[in-house]
Each structure stands twice: as structure tokens, then as C-alpha cells.
């Protein structure tokens, strides 16, 4: 399996575009309109964070981008190259590691399913295990590890697939505050080395500002794009930026715009 790293020639090209994407589900009390008229462009090699109130369709949009859901109307175009690797790898809030497989087997699972030879896939897996700081735990099983370590396995597995894009649905949401900060630093470091196209859903404005190149702010349901914000901070970054006055001002500005949508979502929940 070919490992995909974004090159300078790729950066800036469209990776995903959505045109008029809407999504409705049939519920017990009628149709639920999750998304309405989503028009976005996600650039190759960019890190986009999606924020918005609960129930606004953030996760639904992510699943549509990855082909796990189809829109009720509108269209999604992915411009990623087809090949031996999946176009997108997913990381969810619940880590999704397989309890019957050890760390090495979990990280190598994607390439195992793609019929990559054992030596090659284990070599790739060991590389990514080292990248996420789990060297020495290759033979350990998930039940023997902390929540943060299990999420490191999930992230390593996603990178090990070689997919050009990563779709991440609140991957750090279940972690304690200290572990979450360490994992944010890890994601920043891995992304800056690989420059994959990343779309990450989060409720945390601070996380979006630390990780993202741009932030897509969603309205209350049905989710619409309220605003697309270019993150004003240069790279490389680390969590120390959160202590600056510029960071505090950016966070407050986003919250002032998002607050009304959160209040609406609570009112109609």
C-alpha cells in the first residue's frame, strides 16, 4: 500500500467541494432536517475544523464527505486520487479499536484488509506506533491501556492507512483535559509533518483555533454555514498560544457569533 503525503504541488487544490448539500432524516415525528444548502470547499493539505451547537449536523456533514451518508439533495465532489488506499480514514470519539487485537495488529489492520504483506504492514505500523509515542506497547491489548493511549492507537491506524484525508469526529472529546492537551500537540505535530487534508468536528473553540487553518461555523438545526473563519495564527503552533491575548480575542469573537446558535439549539432541543 502506498503511503500518501501531500506535496507542495498538491497544496491549495480542492479536496472536497459541496454544492447545495441538504440532509433530512425520517423520524418518529416526521422529517428531521439536519443540513440545509451547504456550500463549502476543503483545500488539499488544509486542516478545517467544524464547530457548531449540538444537533446542527456537524457529524452528518463529516459522514457525507466520507461517503458514509448520501445527501438528500445537492452534491459532494471529492477530488482525491483513487488508488490502492482508501480516500479517507475516519477517527471517531469512541476510539473504535478492536479489543481482540493487540496494538500492532490494530494499527496494521487497514493494510491487512488491503492485503498488504505482513512485513510491510508491520513496518508501517511500527513507524506510526513510534510517532504516537506507544513504542514498547506493541503487544499490549486495549483493555490494558488508558483512554488516551487507545485514542493514540486509533490515530496511528488512520495515518497508517496512507489515506490522503482524515475525517475526525470529536476524536479528543472523551479525554480528560490534560490528556486532551497532549493529544492536541500530537495532532499538530503529525499534521505539520504529513500535511494531509483533515476535517475535524469539535465543540471546543480553543481546539479549533489551535488545530485549524479555517473554521466552519454552523448554525442551529437545520445546519447551515454561518461563517467561514480563517485562523490568524501562523505555524508551527503549540498549546502555549492559548495563553496569548490574541488567542483570547479570537476565541471571544467566535463565541459571540456562535452564542446565539447555541441558545437556539437549547431552546428547540
Q: Would you give per-residue pLDDT tens digits along the chain (269 residues)?
A: 445 445 444 567 899 999 999 999 987 777 889 999 999 999 999 999 999 999 999 999 999 999 999 999 999 998 876 555 668 999 988 778 999 999 999 999 988 888 889 999 999 999 999 999 999 999 999 999 999 999 999 999 999 998 999 999 999 988 889 999 999 999 999 999 999 999 999 999 999 999 999 999 999 999 999 999 999 999 999 899 999 999 999 999 999 999 999 998 876 55
Residues 6+ apart with CB under 8 A from 36: 22, 222, 223, 224
- CA torsion 219-225-226-229 (nearest 10°) is 130
Q: What is the pTM of this model?
A: 0.90
Asked whether 69 and 117 are in contact (CB, 8 A), the reply is no
Strands 30-43 and 88-92: unpaired
Residues across the chain: 269
Query: 171, exposed or middle or buried, with CB in 10 Å at 0-12, 13-18, 19+?
Result: buried
How far apart are alpha carbons 14 and 144 in whole angstroms? 41
> Where do the domains of the chain lie, and which CATH numbers do they carry?
16-45+65-79 (no CATH), 82-201+209-223+234-262 (3.40.50.300)
Q: Which grid cell is 145?
A: 491501556
Amino acid at each position: 500500500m502506498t503511503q500518501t503525503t501531500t506535496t507542495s504541488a498538491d497544496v491549495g487544490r480542492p479536496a472536497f467541494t459541496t454544492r447545495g448539500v441538504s440532509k433530512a432524516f425520517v423520524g418518529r415525528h416526521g422529517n428531521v432536517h439536519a443540513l440545509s444548502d451547504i456550500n463549502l470547499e476543503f483545500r488539499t493539505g488544509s486542516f478545517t475544523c467544524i464547530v457548531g451547537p449540538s444537533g446542527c449536523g456537524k457529524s452528518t456533514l463529516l459522514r457525507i464527505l466520507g461517503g458514509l451518508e448520501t445527501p438528500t439533495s445537492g452534491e459532494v465532489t471529492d477530488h482525491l486520487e483513487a488508488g490502492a488506499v482508501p480516500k479517507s480514514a475516519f477517527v471517531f470519539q469512541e476510539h473504535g479499536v478492536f479489543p481482540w487485537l493487540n496494538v500492532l495488529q490494530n494499527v496494521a489492520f487497514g493494510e491487512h484488509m488491503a492485503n498488504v504483506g505482513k512485513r510491510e504492514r508491520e513496518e508501517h505500523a511500527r513507524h506510526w506506533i513510534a510517532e504516537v509515542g506507544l513504542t514498547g506497547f506493541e503487544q499490549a491489548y486495549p483493555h490494558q491501556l488508558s483512554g488516551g493511549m487507545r485514542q493514540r492507537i486509533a490515530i496511528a491506524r488512520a495515518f497508517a492507512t496512507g489515506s490522503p484525508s482524515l475525517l475526525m469526529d470529536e476524536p479528543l472529546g472523551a479525554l480528560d483535559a490534560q490528556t486532551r492537551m497532549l493529544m492536541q500537540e500530537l495532532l499538530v505535530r503529525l499534521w505539520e509533518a504529513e500535511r494531509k487534508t483533515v476535517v475535524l468536528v469539535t465543540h471546543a473553540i480553543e481546539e479549533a483555533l489551535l488545530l485549524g487553518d479555517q473554521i466552519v461555523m454552523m448554525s442551529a438545526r437545520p445546519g447551515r454555514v454561518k461563517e467561514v473563519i480563517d485562523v490568524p495564527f501562523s505555524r508551527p503552533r503549540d498549546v502555549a498560544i492559548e495563553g496569548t491575548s490574541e488567542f483570547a480575542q479570537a476565541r471571544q469573537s467566535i463565541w459571540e457569533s456562535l452564542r446565539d446558535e447555541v441558545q437556539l439549539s437549547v431552546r428547540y432541543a
